[in-house]
Chain A
């Protein structure tokens, strides 16, 4: 099958290079594309860009990064320096370390400097206030359902923000739950299969590494609802490193953190903040710039580090 070969070739080309990896999706077929380490040169003639930030962990101050606020500010400075101003930002969770008011406040203040509208889904660190997520919902849950899921449309692309960090079950991984899946089914019903879909959630919606809980137990039920669409891009955080795969017409991508790295799956006794040699921290933190070109359903993601 020609497409299959093309896909495999593309996967090879998706290997890291320099400071960023870029790939493009056209009609569900991933293709290699040029790399742009600076992440500033992918301005589409007809289309738009948005930006993904993740795992800012405002309040984290341990050995792996004594000042997560400072590196978040650096990430925001990178956003402000982009040649093409993103239409909006999505933050894929773990905005804060401990869901504290001052952490949310500082995160808001730092992000607001961009002047770019932002959408948020919570990470598990944003759910540990006494109200079990109320602090997050009060700030970022306007117009959302349940624990904070929502959808919106932008220039013909349908965006869906899912929450897979609420009501987690003993022994399990991330969890969407029946109520959210029912909402997703209704949300997608009636949309044409040619509508490009971008789904974002904190924990990966595919199993990256079960032993560390890096997956979502009931993700398959969500992916089944998305299968009929011609272009589905799934953006996640949580694991603080880039992992990507293409499966059928779905592209999966996880973003770097702006706070600290975590070990690659299975390379350490457990996940958790990884201390890197002095001077190397910023080379493992970063942001993701996403370009959608209208018409050919092409999506390009450029990951750039803070180094």
Chain B
């Protein structure tokens, strides 16, 4: 699997979350590199900040922790050859099953922390911290 490399690529994405918040919209790096079409994405978020990409690779959410601002969207894309889901522990969101290359987006409207996991492989967990504007 080449997805390990992708994790390395994605870590800088997390690091530039603050610059994303300043208005520069980046496409999810690994997804465009793979030429996958993002599906199941709602209309572009109204917030000034662009979406934050989380990639699911090697049964891991990468980055595992992301910080967004209220109104910002996180897009999860499954890069594995096995389906996964993205389910909030507090049930505030739940994706359909994501096959290889499919994505799920959720726009966070309330400040706080939301833990989430894959309901098929519950060892896979992640967290979104939503900062007030």
A144 on the B face (CB < 8 A): no
Q: Mark B41-61, 1 if CB is under 8 A from A, else 0.
A: 000000000000000001110
Are A173 and B122 in contact (CB-based, < 8 A)? yes
A173 touches B81 (CB 8 A): no
List residues of A (56-100) whose CB comes within 8 Å of B's CBs: 62-64, 97-99
- Interface assignment of A37: CB less than 8 Å from any CB of chain B: no
Answer whether residue A170 sits at the interface, using C-beta atoms and an 8 A cutoff.
yes
| Interface size band for A | 20 to 34
Residue among B60, B80, B81, B100 with the highest chain A CB neighbour number at 10 A: B81
User: Does A170 contact B59, Cβ atoms closer than 8 Å?
Assistant: no
- Tell me the complex Cα distance, A99–B4, Å: 28
Residue of B nearest to A167 (CB): B119
Query: In the bound complex, what is the Cα–Cα distance between A269 and B100 (angstroms)?
Result: 18
A168 x B1 contact (CB < 8 A): no
From B80, B120, B123, residue with most partner A Cβ within 10 Å:
B123
List residues 164-196 of chain A with CB under 8 A from any CB of chain B: 168-173
**For the complex, what is the distance from the CA of A269 to the CA of B57, rounded to whole Å?**
10
| Min C-beta distance of B38 to chain A, whole Å | 19
Chain B, interface residues (CB within 8 Å), range:
20 to 34
Stretch at the interface among A7-15, A124-132, A152-160: A124-132
Chain A residues contacting B125 (CB-CB under 8 Å) are 170-171
Contact present for A213 and B121 (CB under 8 Å): yes
Decide yes or no whether A117 CB sits under 8 A from chain B.
no
Q: Does B17 contact A (CB under 8 A)?
A: no
B86-133 at interface with A (beta carbon < 8 Å)? 89, 96-97, 99-100, 115-117, 119-123, 125
CA distance A63 to B3 in the complex (A): 14
Q: Quick check: B123 and A211 within 8 Å, CB to CB?
A: yes
State whether B82 touches A269 (Cβ < 8 A): no
Subset of 22 A-B contacts with CB under 8 Å: A62-B81, A63-B81, A64-B81, A124-B120, A125-B83, A128-B83, A128-B120, A168-B119, A168-B120, A170-B115, A170-B125, A171-B122, A212-B123, A213-B122, A213-B123, A269-B1, A269-B4, A269-B58, A270-B58, A270-B80, A271-B59, A273-B81
